Amino acid sequence: MSASLILLALGVGAVAGVAIVLLIIWVLRQRQIDDEKTSGDLPRGVSLLVSRLDGAVFIVDKSLNVLAASEGANKLSLVGQNRILIPELVLMAEQATKGKDVTREDFEISRGPLGDATLTITAHASLFRSRFVLVTVVDRGEYQRLDDVRREFVANVSHELKTPIASVGLLAEALQEAADDPEMVRHFAERLSSEAERLGSITREIIELSRLQGEGALAEFEPLTLSTIVDKAVDQNKVVAKAKKIKLVSGGDLEAVIYGDSARLVVALSNLIANAVHYSPENSQVGIGVARRNSFVEVAVTDQGIGMTKEEVERVFERFYRTDQARSRSTGGTGLGLSIVKHIVSNHGGDIRVWSAPGKGSTFTIRIPEASVPGKETTE
């Protein structure tokens, strides 16, 4: 009997012990839940989930600090440096913090805080867990952009290709008439080859410009260090610069980071360097400098060339515009290089500025939003 009582007592004690342990676990879990409810941090896993979403999505707290953002949100330059960059979305997020679901359909916003590129979007902002605002954005302007591109492509082709095509036809006739004169045949063949090469160059750049105008978002989007872009762009221009005894010098905050398409940005910077080399005298210098200012990265290309007048500066980004028509045609210039640069920069939510004076050279400065990188502080 005493043995049974002992076993019973042990059983009751074991059950009580388990109950106490379970009670402690429950209390700790409730505290954890309460802590999550009162904490300003996002629930675990939410940031990771948002970062992997395909669309443009971001989450802010009630102070409108960006706590998590998808690649799509960064790609469209909606957010940067832990803040919302688009005023219309700031207003929607503010309204949502008061518990109101806000939706706006088919409205136009700037593509980032700089430049004149725009997007047509539909956006929705709503409060969740009483302290966070979820904002989703859908790009609605793709079909309109494609239609615009088709029209501009036809206009560009008819504007620029008719002259070299006519030249090729005339040269072919002259070549046929001079069939018995080897010297004239050689002369016309060289000119025909030159016009054919120029025709191919114009065609490639028109296609490239049309592709850029049709891009609603960047095809290959990733964090990029400026040193990689600058090194590649400089390397593409070394041979031509060396032939003119022009020194290419790069410096500044080359470890600055931006979001973007590496191949596109190399094209943009390479075009600026090539332009600087083209208009610079022999035995001069072209500088490429990088700086971080007020949440933006600036890349400046400076030459010691012939410079431009105020009127030329105002038109320099126009399609097919050349400051020196005769020289550009003789050296194969298409007048599209700087237009391509402007579109690439605009597609990155940035802008490009020019300073120039006749006889004093020119400076082209690209500005693009800086990527949010932990541990880096922006220079004011």
Q: What is the DSSP string of 227-260?
A: HHHHHHHHHHHHHHHHHTTPEEEEEE-TT-EEEE
Number of domains composing the chain: 3
Residue 4 pLDDT more than 50?
yes
Query: Does residue 224 share a domain with residue 273?
Result: yes
Print the domain residue range for 233. 220-380
Residue 380 pLDDT more than 60?
no
- Give the domain CATH number at 66: 3.30.450.20
Helix (H) or strand (E) holding 118: strand 118-128
116-120, 275-279, 343-347: which has the highest mean pLDDT?
275-279
Domain annotation covers residue 19? no
Domain annotation covers residue 27? no
Give the integer Cα–Cα distance in Å for 357 and 264: 29
The average pLDDT across 171-176 equals 74
Q: What is the pLDDT of residue 182?
A: 81
- Of 90, 121, 140, the residue that ends a domain is 140
Query: Does residue 161 share a domain with residue 75?
Result: no
Domain annotation covers residue 8? no
Domain annotation covers residue 22? no
- Of 140, 166, 189, the residue that ends a domain is 140
Q: Do 157 and 165 touch, CB atoms closer than 8 A?
A: no
Domain annotation covers residue 72? yes
Per-residue tokens: 337 = 């290089």
Q: What is the pLDDT of residue 141?
A: 66
By CB atoms closer than 10 A (0-12, 13-18, 19+), residue 292 is buried
Per-residue tokens: 342 = 């402007």
Q: Which of 270, 299, 302 is nearest to 370 (CA)?
A: 299
Q: Check: pTM over 0.75? Answer yes or no.
A: no
Query: Does residue 166 share a domain with residue 121?
Result: no
Query: Does residue 147 share a domain with residue 118?
Result: no
Residue 95 pLDDT more than 90?
yes
Domain annotation covers residue 180? yes
Q: What is the pLDDT of residue 191?
A: 73
Residue 284 pLDDT more than 90?
yes
- Of 120, 140, 160, the residue that ends a domain is 140
Confidence band of 217 (pLDDT split at 50, 70, 90): very low
Confidence band of 218 (pLDDT split at 50, 70, 90): very low
By CB atoms closer than 10 A (0-12, 13-18, 19+), residue 236 is middle
- Give the domain CATH number at 192: 1.10.287.130
